[in-house]
Amino acid sequence: MIPISRVTAFITGATGFIGSVLCRKIVAENGIVYALVRENSKNIDRLPVDKNLKVIYGDLDDFGYIREQLSQIETNINVFYHLGWKGVGNKDRNDPVQSQNIESTIQSLLLAHSLGCSKWVGTGSQAEYGPINSKISEEHLTKPTTFYGASKLSACILSQVLGHQLNMSTVWARIFSTYGPGDNSGWMLIDLINTLLDKQKPKLTLGEQLWDYLYVDDAANALYKLGTAVNSQGVYNLGSGNATKLKKIIEITRDLIDPALPLGFGEIPYRIDQVMHLEADVSKLIRDTGWQAEIDLETGLRRTIDYIKNEKNKVKE
């Protein structure tokens, strides 16, 4: 494969948490982005306003309509990023809607092939492995325990098979835990920050879990490199590669907001299926792309806190 000197990317899930940061990354690297956005999307303001970002309206349920729009404009798309996925919230992890994402993943790969893309990059999840209380490499057995994890794994396997049949380079990035400005509520770190900024005591487990958190800009940079690296192919874990005890992460977060605030450790029992060690082995990612995480945990938490604080102040105004 010839190295890609200038990225021209099509991105599904472009207004999502990681997708919008990936859009900004590509534009910052003087690339061109065709961003798939649903009509009347409430998150379109996440996208950068730039001459090199072009919005394509459409939905993952209708790739025919997307293909029709692209046929009317002159494009030279060389990398296809498929980040779009229905049902990413915790409450949707066992919703049958998950299976619909398998078909849209396949359709995105077929579209990428018809556009002449040299590489297709899809995003999976650590949920494909199921509970594993140790550092996880790509060689670990996959035993998902949710519809979400099983659907991601199915999409992974089928995209690798289809990519081989089409003689097209395909990458599947299994994302562990990401965080940063713009993340949605419903996740531990974001809910913790909101609670502490409201001067309330959060209810917590004992916090003995070892957890791998990756700042969103580092995640987007990894996807960018996976899309442009000559040797990237197959499945990659995407995390920081380092695990920190959750209690320490929570205490750092509290201290950045107000060291005097109380923390309710032990007020919530562990779940029966509680994962106590979630950590990605990212040696393959580093080897094939040269990527390294750049934002340390305290810096990333401070940026996230400042963002949420500013958003709260806007609401008050």
The confidence score (pLDDT) of residue 232 equals 95
Looking at residue 4, what is its pLDDT?
A: 66
| pLDDT given for residue 97 in this prediction | 93
Whole-structure pTM value: 0.96
Q: How far is CA 309 from CA 47, 253, 302, in A?
A: 21, 13, 10
Check if the beta carbon of residue 84 is closer than 8 Å to that of residue 36.
yes
User: Tell me, what's the pLDDT at 74?
Assistant: 82
Mean pLDDT in each 10-residue stretch from start to end of the chain (317 residues)? 77 97 97 95 94 95 91 90 92 92 97 96 97 94 96 98 97 97 91 97 97 98 96 97 97 98 97 91 98 97 97 79
- Supply the pLDDT for residue 3: 57
Model pLDDT, residue 1: 54
The residue ranges of every structural domain in the chain are 8-180+214-240+279-294
CATH architecture of 8-180+214-240+279-294: 3-Layer(aba) Sandwich (3.40)
Q: How far apart, in Å, are the Cα atoms of 286 and each of 7, 138, 173, 237, 241?
A: 20, 13, 13, 10, 10
